[in-house]
Structure 1
């Protein structure tokens, strides 16, 4: 925005814009410690309440945004079915600028208007006067100003920024230019100042009006219809006194209608009321407009308590970045634990996020189980029950492919999903562990010149497939396993002429001259010491191993980048970068896009590794690593 007063004065401060709250904090602290002997300090009260008020307003927006993004609760009442993307999140990153502006205006008003310095706690007359001023002045003033901003000149210079958000969100309510929020501050301030000037001001008026104003703004931008249509059937006049999320969403999709602040009465008087408002509201409110059935579902799981906060319905901005533990998460740890445990006891699975690829809907469902629970023998039956219920639910609603995340397909838990396919042979949904593509990604990372690798987790599903594939490339594979029986079983699967390339080792010392380690079982820093200087650790172990050796390099978990035309991707998959998903997730995507009719469960078919790899590349998925590779079979 190049227009004057479009940009915010503190745009260049970044996160340091919150320093602008510093004088408020300093004033409160100063008066608390240096003026405590005085009977009262009006400045203390005003600064303190400004801080509290605008903290509450910020929390209100975040809470509303959390609710509207709880897809497991709201998916059948969503108005615009399209998901938001990273671009919208980044554009709206500074949605809270208006809170800083209004805090500064509030502090300035305190010194300009003496009648703000001695307010009662509650004055009912003031509430009534504020309501009258809101309906009589604020509503028509906002309606008139809003229509002016939709004129071609003002819209292009100022208001188009707000409408650049394709999917309204509660945080979109604060996303506008500086001059627009100056005008909104006037609209907000008229009822409060008016009541105070008449001598009927109160703290409850300031708190109540500000919070209700924000509540209604968030309601309109929530993109979830929660106002029951029965209200308007019982009391028809109410449809002109209170707007709905559907009503305001129509303003964002059809910009020349529904301009009101909160009361459609002014659109009716100004002949700008969208004729579809009530019919569409009834359809959405009654739940008749059901969400689209996805073609593909990725069944994820919780890793730990802090990672459980890395979801779009907690902190949208946090989930849009790769996960890492941050200090601000610590105070919320107990709350998150209670919520997750509640989901554990009462929920089955819940919809986390969705995106579109090749015009097909892909969803992520989550099993509410912590990572450590998968390693408790007595928890296995309960976890498998939840996974089975998710598969049966997907089958019932018509999902074509469901892919299992890392621990949901644990070999010791359910044989890589084979347990469910054997138990329900009539399944129409295809169950996929995605490990064929995971193996392909790991193999693609290994440089062509490598002639020897050290493999831990060698008898696992992935370890077996990697060993059998590499031996066919005449690469010597040192397979770490104490079980001679398991090793021999895998060795016999290899063609006779390649069996000699598979070598059983029982100690890490055997790899002290091997610079290519493929880690499929967690290894301690002490065990890493046996790797020679310059070793690269490829890995398919969950959780990833510690980066202990500074003289070695570490690969990430197998992952692939989704194509550029993916739509609606708004959160990062755990520690992955934006647009990057775990290889098993990508394997399910490929299975869906190819329309394969078989289940991919149990042992990996080594002969399909090249086929799956070529299919992934054909559909625009690309490997994240850039190393020269053992080339999989060319097209």
Structure 2
């Protein structure tokens, strides 16, 4: 039997748990409709405070995941993985609990009308916090650690999260949050009862309280050490992120709520606290340089909200347009415009594979911008900045995402390799593995395929590979010269298997279509019923035919020993990445010393495929 108050009573309700706010909403509506002078404004304020608290934690979490801002002061380079995200999925339960408790407390005080502001009340709340809340929390927190029963059943859950992040603050048992609610409520309630309360005091206290909790559970240090050098006594007045991090590592020290002076008085102050804080602030705790970087880009305005630093529960699932994204569209548009004016590649996420750090950097450009002629130089300049920064940092391999290696843009990365012949970082387009994934999806007994985008890098490689397997390839292209050039690359005995076609009607009897060019509904209509559309086109073709099946973009599942992966790559399932990303991973794991740019070496397709399987990558 589980211990009382160790599990949430509404944990099986899913999103229906938000109906617990129903009575508060109903009271607000009723008072507005049927009372001349509404008495229960408390309900409205409780709802507003709950919403405020939710956004405090979410916004701080978003900031904490912006590695391009926080990388210099990261306390721990580890990233939150899917397992931790799932375990902390209902982190906001404590806000619901505190809202319900507050509604009960305020019901008995509904006769009190608070002014908007009262300076004496703010000073009084501060006194109650320092004199009552801080020592009370210190005593209870220390007891939760010293008593084995209490720690096992009530406090170990909070310490079970391997990586601290803002939302970890909510990952605790109901008893802990009831205690926290009491500690938090004492200054506000006491101040109101002695007649000095105000709405400003309540909102301000809640806001500051939650912001200070966020400071302790952030991934990077937020308090500069200069403050403590100028005013040393502040070390005992306000705690820091590194201070709380030491508590998570050495749990018999640093028990305070926000003020280390109580740890000093209780002889539980970790002696390494100030030195560790200074070390973090000085940048001496810098995380190691990544060995591999995947240089990605945004697809469109909607999917840009799936960036790894956005709402972590949303980005831990494959991208799908959802209704709650609508309020964020104006902000996303402003960011789009600002990034268009001036920006450079930045770190968005990372994971560890074979004890080596792999990161994703993002070129702040959207899909449509890659097709604007006047944007070409600017985009290439940003990609070049990313490659040069990776080279300077000591990165070994950098892989280019779909549009970053566009043939018309930079010749599949050839532009950068030719311009900088002394690059130490290996530039990889990953198309060799992409071709391998597509080719290994095609059934072995297929005798004929219809190929659009046939003269592209991937189309050429697929056609040349299949003709060697004696598969008849209908290559859709209007250019006879480009077709002849590719056909002449095939061995003499296999050239007859490559056939130029100029109309989609040519594929009306072929049930294996490989789309390297976007297909309209009319063009798809020429395929016979039962056709399967393989594809390597960005954006993906839409599924217009119900009597046909559609493949996804080429992708591979990362090895099982990957650590710290907590975001999905666009529409890919968890742990799955685009084949060009996986191609860069294989390039690094194999230790290849060559650049993989320009045309695809058909002889390397099987070699790279076998290498991927050897290292634990698996087809989807």
Structures share fold, TM-score greater than 0.5: yes
The match for 1:139 is 134
The equivalent residue for 1:178 is 174
1:507-526 superposed matches below 5 A: 507-526=503-522
Mapped pair 1:189 → 2:185: yes
Counterpart-to-counterpart distance in 1, 2:445 and 2:573: 29
2:39 equivalent to 1:42:
yes
Report matched runs for 1:2-401 at 5 Å.
2-35=2-35, 38=36, 40-43=37-40, 45-113=41-109, 117-150=112-145, 151-401=147-397
What is the deviation of 1:294? 0.6
Further displaced range: 281-290 or 492-501: 281-290
**What's the offset of the Cα at 1:446?**
0.4
Number of corresponding residues: 619
Kept after mapping to 2: 8 A contact 1:465/1:604: yes
Offset at 1:319? 0.6
Partner of 1:499: 495
CA drift at 1:112: 2.5
- 1:388-410 CA-to-partner distances (Å, cap 9, x unmatched) read 11111111111110000000000
Q: Is the 8 A contact 2:42 2:110 kept in 1?
A: no
1:114 deviates by 5.1
Q: CA deviation at 1:30?
A: 2.2
Say which of 608, 613, 616 aligns to 1:612: 608
Corresponding position of 1:629: none
Task: Give the secondary-structure state (helix, strand or coil) at the position aligned to 1:439.
Answer: helix
| Conservation of the 8 A alpha-carbon contact between 1:228 and 1:286 | no
Give the unaligned 5+ runs of structure 2.
none
Matches of 1:143 and 1:133, distance apart in 2: 15
- In the TM superposition, residue 288 of structure 1 has moved relative to its aligned partner by 2.8
| Equivalent position SS for 2:223 | coil
The secondary structure found in structure 1 opposite 2:347 is: strand
- Distance (whole Å) between structure 1 residues aligned to residue 2 and residue 559 of structure 2: 33
Contact 2:39/2:110 (8 A) holds in 1? no
Which residue in 2 is equivalent to 1:628? none
TM-score (norm 1): 0.96
Question: Does the Cα contact within 8 Å between 2:32 and 2:38 map onto a contact in 1?
Answer: no
1:630 is aligned to none
1:457 and 2:453 correspond: yes
Residue matched to 1:532:
528
TM-score, normalised with respect to structure 2: 0.99
Cα separation, 1, equivalents of 2:137 and 2:86: 28
1:574-593 alignment runs, 5 A limit: 574-593=570-589
Contact 1:294 1:363 in 2 (8 A): yes
State the Cα deviation string for residues 414-471 of structure 1 (Å, max 9, x = none): 0000011011111110000000000000001001111000000000000000000000
Q: Distance in 2 between matches of 1:358 and 1:411?
A: 32
Cα distance in 2, alignment partners of residues 444 and 552 from structure 1? 20
Contact kept, 8 Å, 2:31 with 2:39, in 1: the verdict is: no
CA RMSD, aligned part only?
1.0
Deviation at 1:9, TM superposition (A): 1.1
CA deviations on 1:221-243 (whole Å, 9 max, x unpaired) are 01211211111122111101100
Q: Is the 8 A contact 1:298 1:363 kept in 2?
A: yes
| Whole-angstrom distance in 1 between the partners of 2:221 and 2:479 | 59
> Deviations along 1:312-362, whole A, 9 cap, x unmatched?
322111110000111111121111111232233232111000000011110
d(CA) in 2 for partners of 1:560 and 1:127? 57
Q: What CA distance in whole angstroms lies between the structure 1 residues aligned with 2:583 and 2:217?
A: 36
SS of the residue 2:473 aligns to: strand
